[in-house]
Amino acid sequence: MRPDRFSAILFTMIFCALSACITPAGAAGADTPELRQAIQQNLNDKGFPVGTPDGIFGPKTEAAIRAYQESIGQPATGTLSDGQIDVLLGRAAAKAEPKAPEPQPEVTAGTVFRDCEQCPEMVEIPPGTFAMGATDTEQEHPFIGFVPEEQPRHSVTIEYPFAIGRYEVTVAEFDAYVRETGASVGGTCGVRLIESGPQEGKFEGTRHPESSKEIYGPYFVYITDGSYAQPGLPVTQRQPAVCVSRKEVTAYIEWLREKTGRAYRLPTEAEWEYAMRAGTDTVAFWGDDLDHACGYANFADKASGYQAGAAAPCAEAVQPEWTAEVGSYRPNPWGLYDMAGNAQEMLEDCWSPGYEDAPTDGSPVRRNRCQLFIARGGDYEHLHVSMRASQRLTFGYDPQVDMVQGPDEALDIRSNVVGFRLALSLGSRAWDRQ
């Protein structure tokens, strides 16, 4: 070995022994006496004494470095990294250490609670992961066909527990809000008429002057004075509240929030499908055979007064003329009723033509000035194949459909096939708690 090389190595070993072998090069620049003095001075200033800054890193300086590292939650190595030097000298802000995930409340699927006497019953839903959207086999079904809006099937992980309505919000529950607040509700509402039987073609309310049979067909009419209490057809206190606008639902939710101190809201599309599936991975929560829908859903069955009933595989034991009283059919495995059929349910999400850019964490799709929203669940005059967990529908202003209301009235559109149920986040990781 050359003598000059041996001398350099020996010098380095001695220097490391005296100075804790600190190398502040890189982010801090070259290793110079000036830099070392600056480090020592900053340690002194921050209350980690090294004595007089002299650029020599002896045991006292090393002890000060260890104490400083402990104070910022870093391993006390006695050797400063480039990033630590930059922070010490004020050249960069300290990076926050990643927080440990906050524990979420333990919930039991199917547990029912109610926050007030007039409040809807809610069911606890645990966190979990599920496949959202229609399978390829489902889309090859002769009654369904390819539905691009339900593709691609994708994994969604909901990391927080939440609660969802045991039933669709009823006439009585919505009426409690109207009576207590004196809210003015109602207006133009689209009414699906019954096509055969004692109620064939009949409706209650004042026909809208622009609602003509030529445009909307003989089985659909708009009335100008529709509401949850007068949805165009006879209604009981236990039937779902329909003929309610998104604006009216928002006001109802605000009333519940003030009454309970809890952040009630509409479910997101992902939350809804997760809750509807209830841990199953089949076409509907009762299995892949939609011919069994009659025990679980109110749809256009063989005994109904709707044309779609001609294609139905069965007749329901319950025979409502339109919507049924909530809870009339069997629940899903988590104790939720009428997730399939009865009334469509408006959700938080703005409409999207598919799942290409859909959130995968349970949060909703949102857009500024959204006019067309997602609805789920199918309704009383739909085909049995619309009782699928992946079936997607819309509610709001659609420029492709001739309506008596325009885009400025998107939040004030009503229909007697559309109602809603509520949701409530129970964990801090939920999208509405961020």
The pLDDT assigned to 96 comes to: 56
**Highest mean pLDDT: which range of 31-35, 213-217, 332-336, 427-431:** 332-336
Yes or no: domain 112-433 corresponds to CATH 3.40.50.150: no
> What is d(CA 404, CA 210) in angstroms, rounded to the nearest whole number?
6
Residue with tokens 């960069």: 92
Model pLDDT for residues 278-329, shown as the tens digit of each residue: 999 999 999 999 899 999 999 999 999 998 899 999 999 998 999 999 999 9
> What is d(CA 283, CA 378) in angstroms, rounded to the nearest whole number?
14
The pLDDT assigned to 19 comes to: 36
pLDDT band at 143 (very low <50, low <70, confident <90, very high): confident
The pLDDT assigned to 30 comes to: 54
Mean residue pLDDT of the chain comes to 88
- Is residue 71 scored above 90 in pLDDT? no
pLDDT band at 211 (very low <50, low <70, confident <90, very high): confident
Give start and end residues of each alpha helix (H) in 93-220: 136-139, 171-181, 213-216
The pLDDT assigned to 15 comes to: 32
Q: Among residues of the chain, what percentage have pLDDT more than 90?
A: 64
- Is residue 23 scored above 70 in pLDDT? no
- Is residue 345 scored above 70 in pLDDT? yes
DSSP strand E in 99-248: where?
Answer: 112-113, 122-125, 128-132, 154-158, 162-165, 187-192, 220-226
Least confident interval from 34-48, 347-361, 395-409, 420-434: 395-409
Average pLDDT in the 241-253 region? 98
pTM for this entry: 0.78
CB 315 within 8 A of CB 302: yes
Average pLDDT in the 371-399 region? 94
Q: Dihedral angle at the C-alpha atoms of 265, 270, 276, 278, nearest 10 degrees?
A: -110
pLDDT band at 2 (very low <50, low <70, confident <90, very high): very low
The pLDDT assigned to 99 comes to: 62
> What is d(CA 295, CA 332) in angstroms, rounded to the nearest whole number?
11
Which is nearest to 361 in space by CA: 270, 426, 276? 270
CA distances from 58 to 28, 51, 61, 432 (A): 20, 11, 5, 53
Model pLDDT for residues 89-102, shown as the tens digit of each residue: 888 766 655 566 78
pLDDT band at 216 (very low <50, low <70, confident <90, very high): low
The pLDDT assigned to 6 comes to: 32
Model pLDDT for residues 50-63, shown as the tens digit of each residue: 888 888 888 899 88
> What is d(CA 347, CA 283) in angstroms, rounded to the nearest whole number?
21
Q: Among residues of the chain, what percentage have pLDDT more than 70?
A: 90
CB 376 within 8 A of CB 284: no
- Is residue 64 scored above 60 in pLDDT? yes
The pLDDT assigned to 116 comes to: 96
Average pLDDT in the 109-138 region? 95
- Is residue 169 scored above 70 in pLDDT? yes
